[in-house]
Homo-oligomer: A and B are copies of this chain.
């Protein structure tokens, strides 16, 4: 929380205690809705209701839109259908669809039936798109102007448009509402009123299909440094546009999903306020890891008979080191590859280059780690274990085993780090999982197996 926000929050808490509703409303009128929304997470249900009730309906609607999803869920759950209807009627269709999409279907239908017909039709259309597609994040509010129009005509269209979403481009369509191109607002300002729009149209507009995945939309916007994208259907009919604030939200969302997957949890965790629900989601990732590590234990237990008990005890003490180094080296590689998928830097055409690079880096790191591991174990074992228990020749053999297994484990885990993200992507599974605990576990099993095999041969 920034200092100004903390100040405001303290002031809000004081206001809620001592002021009556009218004074509270006056105070809240002076602050941006974003500041109020930011404070909501820390407030009790009754204070939230009181605030939403005190401010103007339009401000209440703004606050609801700006809330984090989990907090919004709590707030919406507390409201009766009537208050919700009032708020939804103040919202832009895309925001209204977001709120209604989270309600039980019956309540959503009830609210829709209370809205005016055109508004509710727009919202219903948006609700039909998957939330993670271009259609799911677009707003249908575009200024669409016929191709025969002049600058003067376009100015009239702009005048009539709802001013809530920021307006940067007007869209030129033909008689069937098929998209021809866009005209930046700037051109309306500097060109004479009689100019034909077709003479100043920009046909390089970034266009996406309503069914395109939101991640692909962000990638294309990023590629062309555009500020908004037109959304069309399969026949190029203009359906809406995606604005910069939604793009930033989507970029955040995608980055966050990857981050959480890597940590072995899920974006769903952030949408819930239930501790048990969150624990359940995290256990989904932790428990398979426990079963995986049972395999590591099995590999160790089955190798035990190949060694005398003293030597096995020392080898086993270094097993976590081998597992961790293999696991970390694999994660480094898979993260770089997953990031390349997300930014579009690694596509099928750039596959070979990525493999070469990652393979070379692993090859460069492996001998360094091997030499160092050999050195560490050579020094540590004679210090930790007295020589009357373990002859120096055995200690040296153990050091050689660790020193040789280390580069092999790094190369093995490195290969997994390269292959698993591609495999997951091919299978249609989010490749970010390939940097999560499941794959650390796989790397652990592989590294420890390589270690035990090497030790069996050498010691």
Residues of A with Cβ closer than 8 Å to B? 1-2, 5-6, 9, 32, 34, 38, 41-42, 66, 68, 155, 158-159, 163, 166-168, 184-186, 188-190, 204, 216, 218-227, 243-245, 247-249, 251-252, 255-256, 258-260, 262-265, 269, 275-276, 278-279, 282-283, 285-287, 289-291, 293-294, 296-298, 300-302, 304, 309-310, 312-314, 316-321, 323-325, 328-329, 331-332, 334-336, 339, 343-345, 347-350, 353, 357, 360-361, 364-365, 368-369, 372-373, 376, 380, 384-385, 435, 437, 440-441, 444, 448
Contact = CB atoms under 8 A, between A and B. Distances in A.
Contact of A313 (B286, B294, B309, B385): B309
Closest 4 CB pairs of A and B: A1-B347, A255-B255, A263-B335, A293-B321
29 contacts: A2-B216, A2-B219, A32-B224, A41-B345, A41-B353, A158-B189, A159-B190, A189-B189, A221-B248, A251-B251, A251-B255, A259-B259, A260-B336, A262-B262, A263-B335, A263-B336, A278-B361, A282-B361, A286-B325, A287-B368, A290-B321, A291-B376, A293-B320, A297-B380, A298-B384, A301-B314, A302-B384, A304-B313, A320-B444
B185 A361 contact: no
Contacts of A252: 222, 251, 255, 343
B264 A331 contact: yes
A348 B265 contact: no
Contacts of A269: 336
B204 A186 contact: no
A274 to B, nearest CB: 10
Contacts of A256: 255, 339, 343
> Interface SS of chain A: helix, strand, loop or mixed?
helix
Contact of A263 (B6, B167, B248, B331): B331
A259 B335 contact: yes
Number of copies: 2
A199 B287 CA distance: 63
Given A42-B353, A251-B251, A309-B313, A155 B361 contact: no
Nearest to A319: B320
A320 B252 CA distance: 35
A265 B317 contact: no
A361 B275 contact: yes
Contacts of A364: 275-276, 279
A184 B166 CA distance: 9
A373 B316 contact: no
Given A166-B184, A186-B185, A297-B380, A223 B34 contact: yes
Given A2-B344, A259-B335, 8 more contacts: A2-B219, A42-B353, A247-B248, A251-B252, A262-B335, A263-B335, A275-B360, A290-B372
A70 to B, nearest CB: 9
A313 B409 CA distance: 22
Contacts of A227: 166, 168, 227, 243-245
